[in-house]
Amino acid sequence: MKKFLYIARYIALAVLLLLLLALAPAMAQNVVYQFKTTQLGIEEHPGDTYTWELYRDSTVNFAEVSGDCPATDAAFVGGNTSATVNVEWKEPGIYFFKVTARNSAGCTNNLKIGKMKVLHALPTATIVADSAVCQREKIELKVTLTGTPPWNFTYTDGTNSWTIDNVTETDLRAKDLPIYIYVIKIDPGPNVTTDYWITRVTDKYGINEVPSVKATQQINPLPEKSTIYHR
């Protein structure tokens, strides 16, 4: 009897291990940044129909409970009834998705579950030059920031680089979520037309080291000195 129980227990553990191994690929965690849209998909079979659902609560029985994710957190783009769907991830956090396949008779015993980790969006910084000015006049470069303060960013003219640290909301010219504008004042400005761009920006949650588009600051030369009045 003891031998029988041992064998039965061994078989049960082996079956459980196989189930866990089978479930592992379906539960593999994907990672994406906030505000991105990603594609989810499974192999399509002729005659089958598909329904996708999104979840925030990991404690529910996915096989029995319908998706509970608010559309303000994440939502399907273009529908949720194809073998392949697109999802826009609007808020950071952990999500689960489920797809249920049904045959032509409407029956199913086939579902797949996955996990998605949504990270805070990377910060961005772009720079806009001042209107054309004359040599030795001050200029103002406007830096548009996205993300969550405080920010640190580095800008360059290709020869020199400058870093602005700990930019908070109190330092901003404009505060229109999710975009902010910081103004760099340079007095006196350069003597020649100069390009500026951002090389690095960080916020509370991340780092972005993709260079921004260059902004050209037009500098007009001063006229040659001449005698205004003749005697």
In this prediction, residue 170 carries a pLDDT of 86
In this prediction, residue 110 carries a pLDDT of 74
In this prediction, residue 178 carries a pLDDT of 64
In this prediction, residue 111 carries a pLDDT of 84
Residue 28: partners with Cβ closer than 8 Å, 6 or more residues away? 114, 115
CB 89 within 8 A of CB 38: yes
In this prediction, residue 169 carries a pLDDT of 86
Query: Domains in the chain, please, with CATH?
Result: 26-119 (2.60.40.10), 124-220 (2.60.40.10)
Question: Over its length of 231 residues, how does the chain's per-residue pLDDT go in tens digits?
Answer: 444 444 444 443 333 333 333 333 444 569 999 999 999 999 998 889 999 999 999 999 998 899 999 999 999 999 999 999 999 999 999 999 999 998 887 776 678 899 999 999 999 999 999 999 999 899 999 999 999 999 999 999 999 999 999 999 888 877 765 679 999 999 999 999 999 999 999 999 999 999 999 999 999 998 777 666 655
List the structure tokens of 1.
């009897």
